Amino acid sequence: MTEISPVGDHVRLGDLGEHKILEHILRPRYGGVRGFGDDCAVLDAPEGLRGELVATTDSCPTPLVTILGETDPYHAGWLLATINLSDLAAAGATPIGLVVNYTLPKTTTAGEFRRLLDGVDACTETHGTKVVGGDLRDGPVRQLTATAIGRCVPGSRLGRAGAEVGDRLLLVGSPGYLWSYALLVEEQARLPESLVAEIRQRACRPTAQVTAGRTLATAGLARAAMDVSDGLFPTVRTLCGANGLGARVTTDIQLDEALVDVCKQSGLGRFELAQAWGDWTLVVAVRPQDVELAKKTLAGEGIAAQEIGTLVPREQGVSLDDGEKTELWDGIAQERFSPSSWHGGDLPKLITEVLGRRAG
């Protein structure tokens, strides 16, 4: 039986925001569904299939790199696949296929369509999977959606719940590349051409942490996980909410050397760059005694990971620790159905909104 929602039928979604839509409309209706609120839905596996099937679906917005001058449809195709595969990573799943849905204007050229397909196919191949089906239709504007299906080793599936007080938070992957490239394009920083090319490559072709999620899950080293699709603050806040906990997060987050240089030149702290969205990292809850093993295991796969915080009792809230003081974290979130929902825009203004600084 569906629970009664406290939100009346007259309330606009834009007045609620994504978080309240989830809690007050979707959770009362679907909260009893296994896996509700996680990055992936849980499917009943066919008889005789070893493992647990999971699925996720996401649409691809206008990529930030398009605003940065990267108009090749290849980048949108790559991002569409990454967005969906990143959710499988948060479940600890191995991808087994991607189903795509393309709505394209009739003015789209065959060459543009092929480049879009090239991006999707290259990304799925990089992550060890492929497109297995889909749909194509015409429409006034381009809309790209995909559904990714994966399989978890029995008993290893990760969700957002499962963490406890004292667990450590690991940030898996290398944050900061997308918005570093934005700062370089905006000429807030300058680097040698070879470094700019590397940062551009990482910004245009982000990697979902599929190997990391699967490795930690199958080794029993992760208790809960979520991909950083909307920024570090909403990710930590959501994990805390799913577990009835708070968190104390350090501002001393490490970045790759070239990105540290970008921070210095543009007047940013490392944390301001690291907390932004767009690099498809994971936040994983790990037992204190498993932190070093988890980091060593990932390092063996060539994957960066760093400890960024501790889960604490709920009454302590979600706070930042700069080494001298601890204060509540009122962070930046890309929340749908809110003023911070991503719809593109003017680059200097976006830098101000997303990185919390003056541009120019």
Domains 13-152 and 168-355 share a fold: no
Which CATH number is 168-355 given?
A: 3.90.650.10
87 labeled binding residue: yes
Q: Which two three-digit tokens encode residue 325?
A: 């003081």
Give phi and psi for 101, each to the nearest 5.
-140, 115
| 201 neighbors 227 (Cβ within 8 angstroms) | no
160 labeled binding residue: yes
**Domain range list for the chain:** 13-152, 168-355
Indicate the helix (H) or strand (E) that contains 151: strand 143-152
346 labeled binding residue: no
58 labeled binding residue: yes
Q: How far apart are CA 325 and CA 164, in angstroms?
A: 24
Nearest-Å Rg of the Cα atoms of the chain is: 20
50 labeled binding residue: no
∠ CA(336), CA(239), CA(157), 5° rounding?
105
Fold of 13-152: 60s Ribosomal Protein L30; Chain: A; (3.30.1330)
In the Cβ-directed half-sphere of 121, how many Cα atoms lie within 13 Å?
Answer: 7
* Tens of pLDDT, residue by residue, the chain (360 residues): 445 667 778 888 778 777 787 788 777 876 877 777 775 667 665 555 567 899 999 999 999 999 999 999 999 999 999 999 999 999 999 999 999 998 888 898 888 999 998 999 999 999 999 988 888 888 899 999 999 999 999 999 999 999 999 999 999 999 999 999 999 999 999 999 999 999 999 999 999 999 999 999 999 999 999 999 999 999 999 999 999 999 999 999 999 999 999 999 999 999 999 999 999 999 999 999 999 999 999 999 999 999 999 999 999 999 999 999 999 998 887 777 777 777 778 899 889 888 874 333
Place of tokens 């601890």: 326
Q: How far apart are CA 143 and CA 82, in angstroms?
A: 16
